Structure 1
């Protein structure tokens, strides 16, 4: 797939960007991958993931949410940066801001998130502890389209892990994160193909 045909994708981060790194590696490692990671943006100027992205040759930007008087003003600035970079698809990867309906609606069908549970189970936070408390045999992660309702958008793909005897939230989280790094590149590729009308 030529560069002109690839879906221009931005990754939004707040921290070290481990899922971001898996997306960049997938996009740069396979000439046929349907998405190109062309921009990484953080709401925290000191986020470690910005340096990782720059080392991989990806353009970076910071839109510090603390510099804006309210959530909507911040999101309008973020939206302007994405549109200036001709972004077509946005992947949230550890982006620690709840987005307003204005932003979500503006990017409807082109905004993805990865969530550490098998949605629709365990929406929200503390998913690993809640899975253990519920006594489930399987846990995992999901990539979904973002909608105004938290963690409720259509699921694109999932990965499962077994819950093992002796697991605590930390060990379960570590095992799920390893599957996130497999799942997100696959799900992003699927979303990019859908955006191009199913062309591979």
Structure 2
């Protein structure tokens, strides 16, 4: 049991850090003292630190095989991650009244939804692809727990945000904005030059940092 303590502690801290700072009355209290921008920067920085520890702790946990260690599963991240990077980059570049994460300057046009035609929830969809691919590539108990939670969180979040936005916007306005979008439809993924270049750069950085940060070379050859 002591071999699992670091993973359990990191997982507990990750869950606590994502439960309390985003809920009232903690969130308004933090925003009042840090400002909206300061709150999101601080929260994002804390989340990345805790996520990094959690991933490292999962790698250090005892190996207990859950899924078959088939060689083809090692390719899952290399297939899924370029798509995840492209969806995440495209989502960050566009305004998104139907979910969160959009930083684009151009107002959202429901007749030209861009990446939202692929998914209304680009960051959650990217997280789901990342998580499922890494469940397959690792297959041990700690990583199945870790990435399975992320995948479940992402999928559940898509449904919850759709319901919340329908209440906030009203059913008619939500349907007007969402008519050309999908919860997840990879066939409709737009392939614009700038997002492709940025996503490729992000993918390259992830590959280069994977071994020094995680301790594992992600390339199967």
TM-score range (shorter-chain normalised) is under 0.3
- With CA pairs under 8 Å and 6+ residues apart, which has the higher RCO, 1 or 2? 2
Query: When the two structures are superposed, what TM-score results if normalisation uses the length of structure 2?
Result: 0.24
Flag the structure with higher strand content.
1
Flag the structure with higher helix content.
2
Query: When the two structures are superposed, what TM-score results if normalisation uses the length of structure 1?
Result: 0.26
